[in-house]
Structure 1
Amino acid sequence: MKKLAIVVSHPIQYYSPWFKYLSNTAGLAIKVFYLWDFGVTKQVDFGFKQEIQWDIPLLSGYDYEFAPNISSQPGTHNFWGLQNPSLISQIQSFHPEAVLLMIYNYASIYRLLWGWNQRQIPLLFRGDSHRLLASKGVKALVKREFITQIYRRFAACLYVGKANYDYFRYHRVAEKQLFFSPHTVDNERFLAQADIVDHQAQTWKQELGIPADHAVILFAGKLEDKKRPLDLLTAFLSANIPQTSLLFVGAGPLEAEIKNTVAGHSNIYLAPFQNQTLMPRTYGAADVFVLPSYGTGETWGLAINEAMCLGRPVIVSDHVGCSQDLVHNEHNGLIFRAGDISALTHSLQAALSNRERLQKWGENSRKIVGNYTYAQATQGLMEALEYVKL
């Protein structure tokens, strides 16, 4: 079997099932090298502002190894948060025939990029950045040239969607070096619970005090600036949609401000952070899921995949990375201009004006996301490996 090393910052709930899939179906001997143990040990998440440890298995079904991290402030929130001096030697001990990087903008990865003989063992990269909010000026040009030089270290790149493809091309990655490996989640885990989440969701909504006859607009994630939950809150108050509630699920820096607003208005609810096993029920409580992010920080928005797996229509801003791929306007949801609260208000009103159509949009969501699977992600990886002669 061909040996592939994969370098990831830490165990991630979206990636671990893919690694298991690769080990069982792709005909590859993979080994994942982790640079930090967040997710499998209880640590503070800088976005949620609380201790997190995922409650689903992230290290089963595939071979892995942790590279000791000597950073005084370990994490992915800063460049120096991943410092793993033994990484190169650990990878070399595995004797891979190719190395796939899932990250690059950290101290350990730069050390690997400049210290690795890519002519002997090719490097691949899978990224999800985009330029949906394009920077301009001299600083932007300098950054473009720097990133272009980084990408020249890779023999092939895997892109997760249309905006990410455009990002690679902007940085002069040749079209022949690009392979489609879409962002996906563990679809099967969500689909397997589709028949039971409705009952669980109804019970949960009753516990939260949401009226039984109300449609629910859901935001679930980190309550932070880049995701713009306050835009959604303002839009909901302006929309004045009858028999409709707004539910925020999560935690983060904006939690106190949202709580203060919720206290002064009816039909707005705030639930705490929900761990992975409770996420199907969380999406099940929604009639429509909304992600109003602004800027380049929402590189894809995997919560959209999850919501669509459970047959939920979605409303996203045009800065959400998956907007060009997963959201078909007026077919399974709506796309609005990021930061435009008036446009978001109109989108909420339009979506909730026809409940029967909204349900149809949800059915379409499930069909669309059915094409974004680990099998499809693996196909792109295998094509890239074939291109680099592995």
Structure 2
Amino acid sequence: MRKARYALAVVAPHPIQYMAGLWRTLARHPRIDLRVIYLDRVGLDGAIDPTMQAAMKWDVPLLDGYEHEFVRNLSSLRFTPIVHRINPGIRARLTASRYDAVILHGYLTLSNWIALPAARRRGIKVVYRGEGSMQGGDRHDSPLVNAVKRPLNRAFLRSCDAIACSSEDNRSYQISRGAPVDRLFSMPCAVDNDQLEIFAGSARSRRDVLASWGFPEEAKVALAVGRFTENKRIGDCIAALSAEPLRDRMDVHLAIAGDGPLRRDLEDQVRTAGLEGRVSFFGFLGQRAIAEAMLASDVFVLGSSHGDPSPKALSEALYLKCPVVCSQGVGTGSELVTPGQNGFVYPTGDVDALAGFVADVLADDERRLAMGRHSHEVARANDFSTGVESLIVRLDELMGEA
């Protein structure tokens, strides 16, 4: 007889807009008694994101709909991730309650190394959830850094009872880092589809959105979203407008949402190329505004080179019926984008290929709309509920009651 209800703790780094929907979905499930334990308050009241170098204040509730608490973070250090959060109190929080299982996010934080043995001594099953890609950023780490990180990663993974994989690429990554294959299970990359549906219902008309961007009503719009950092390769999206397939397409415009250390360089790139009338920068946008931008756009473009295992903006764009043109550097790209059906995948850094695929998507409105509908169906099949049910099946197995 399976257990009727599991007491589940989640040790999360800090409130994150893309995760709040998952916590709410877990909390609503009749077989889960959830409590999220946060290690930091970053992101609650607006904060400067060091990688974006801009103030971030989300326009969606981050703490509603699920039980949560905060453990004091003793660290003020930010020079390396492992010491960003030092929360000795996590040990007492886990052992004071009768949890059946705990989800830990990643291994590169000292507090998770405190939580892991505390949970195991208490008999709490440990589920690991960590982003990582075969095209990931650690491929670009120095040999010395990898000589330290990889044994730590392997030891952490082998101490966990189950390992959630957000994609096939993520599964391959975890195996390459020493994860036992029989402990892996699927918990697909997803976003809050219900929230997106609400945003879609209240969005302004495409005409009004384009007017607010300074684009003509007849514009064909490609949308890029992300931090302005080297790995996101936003510059490739700008350069594509000057490539042969799009050079003379004055009706094709690029909308860019995001911010970061390369903003001035990207703005200079636009001016140098004479694209001021075809490219607009919007800075950081909250989820509601991002959804509105996606609804008003004709194609979503993502050119990442590495360190982008499961970009949530991609999943949002799919649900909101955008055809997608993404690079091979996007971890989930090959699984979520089927060439010719809902978009295209191009070799990272190949600006001509990027431009060609964008032109292909924009060449036929009827086909483009059909591709958008296919994107929507892909996103519907990869929602939070799918991952929650998969987690419960694994908990049943772990507790020996399946």
Task: Please give the TM-score of this superposition, normalised by the length of structure 1.
Answer: 0.93
2:242 to 210, 213, 237: 237
2:113 alignment partner in structure 1: 110
Paired residue for 2:219? 214
Percent identical among aligned pairs is 26
**What is aligned with 1:25?**
29
Q: Is the 8 A contact 2:107 2:153 kept in 1?
A: no
Matched, 1:94 2:114: no
Given residue 126 of structure 1, which amino acid in structure 2 is its aligned partner? R
Q: CA deviation at 1:63?
A: 0.8
* Matched letter for residue 348 of structure 1: V
Contact 1:23-1:30 at 8 Å conserved across structures: yes
Amino acid aligned to 2:356: H
Pair 1:205-2:210 in alignment: yes
Distance in structure 1 (CA, Å) of the matches to 2:143 and 2:318 = 40
Task: Report the more deviating stretch, 205-214 or 143-152.
Answer: 143-152
Q: Distance in 1 between matches of 2:222 and 2:267?
A: 17
Quote the offset at 1:21 in angstroms.
1.4
Q: Unmatched 5+ residue regions in structure 2?
A: none
List aligned pairs for 1:57-72, cutoff 5 A: 57-72=61-76
Contact (CA 8 Å) 2:238, 2:270: kept in 1 or not?
A: no
1:298 is matched with 308
Task: Check 1:143–1:84 CA distance in 2 against 1; reply closer, same or farther (3 A cut).
Answer: closer
Counterpart of 1:49, as a letter, is Q
Give the aligned residue type for 1:379.
E
Closer/same/farther in 2, CA of residues 172 and 204 from structure 1, 3 Å limit: same
C-alpha offsets along residues 157-191 of structure 1, whole Å, 9 cap, x if unaligned? 11111101111222332332111111111101112
Corresponding residue SS for 2:102: strand
- For 1:322 and 1:118, the matched residues in 2 are separated by 36
Q: Partners of 1:121 and 1:73 in 2: how far apart? A: 30
1:192 match: secondary structure: helix
Q: Give the Cα separation in 2 of the matches to 1:72 and 1:144.
A: 26
2:350 maps to 340
Does the residue aligned with 1:91 lie in a helix, a strand or coil? helix
Deviations 1:330-365 (A, max 9, x none): 110000111222322222232222332122111110
Q: Say whether 1:274 aligns with 2:285.
A: yes
Q: CA deviation at 1:312?
A: 0.7
Note the C-alpha offset of 1:138: 6.6
**Alpha carbons 1:26, 1:378 under 8 Å: kept:** no
The 10-residue stretch of structure 1 (149-158 or 46-55) with the greater mean CA deviation from structure 2: 46-55
For residue 385 of structure 2, what is the aligned residue in structure 1? Answer: 375
**Aligned residues of 1:101 and 1:124 also touching (Cα < 8 A):** yes
Contact 1:118 1:153 in 2 (8 A): no
The residue identity in structure 2 corresponding to 1:267 is R
Given the alignment of the two structures, is residue 151 of structure 1 paired with residue 162 of structure 2, yes or no? no
Task: Please tell me whether the aligned partners of residues 157 and 384 of structure 1 are also in contact (alpha carbons under 8 angstroms).
Answer: no
Instruction: Please state how far the C-alpha of 1:59 moved relative to its aligned partner.
Output: 0.7
Could you say what the CA RMSD is over the residues aligned between the two structures, in angstroms? Answer: 2.2
How does 1:299-338 map onto structure 2 within 5 Å? 299-338=309-348
**Aligned-residue offset at 1:53:** 2.2
Q: Give structure 1 stretches of 5+ with no counterpart.
A: none
Alpha-carbon distance in structure 2 between the residues aligned to 1:131 and 1:246? 29
Task: Indicate how the Cα distance of structure 1 residues 158 and 218 shifts in structure 2: closer, same or farther if over 3 A, else same.
Answer: same
Quote the residue 1:7 is aligned against. 11
Is the counterpart of residue 78 in structure 1 residue 74 in structure 2? Answer: no
In the other structure, the counterpart of 1:350 is 360
State the alpha-carbon separation in 2 of the partners of residues 104 and 144 from structure 1.
10
Picking from 266, 276, 288, the partner of 1:258 is: 266
Displacement of 1:116: 4.2
Residues 48-76 of structure 1, C-alpha deviation per residue, up to 9 Å, x if partnerless? Answer: 2122221211111111110111111369x
- Indicate conservation of the 8 Å contact 2:95/2:119, yes or no: no
Contact 1:8 1:103 in 2 (8 A): no
- Choose which of 160, 180, 185 in structure 1 pairs with 2:191: 185
Corresponding residue for residue 166 of structure 2: 160
1:122 aligns with 2:94: no
SS at match of 1:384: helix
| Offset of residue 141 of structure 1 | 7.2
Aligned to 2:180, which of 174, 177, 180?
174
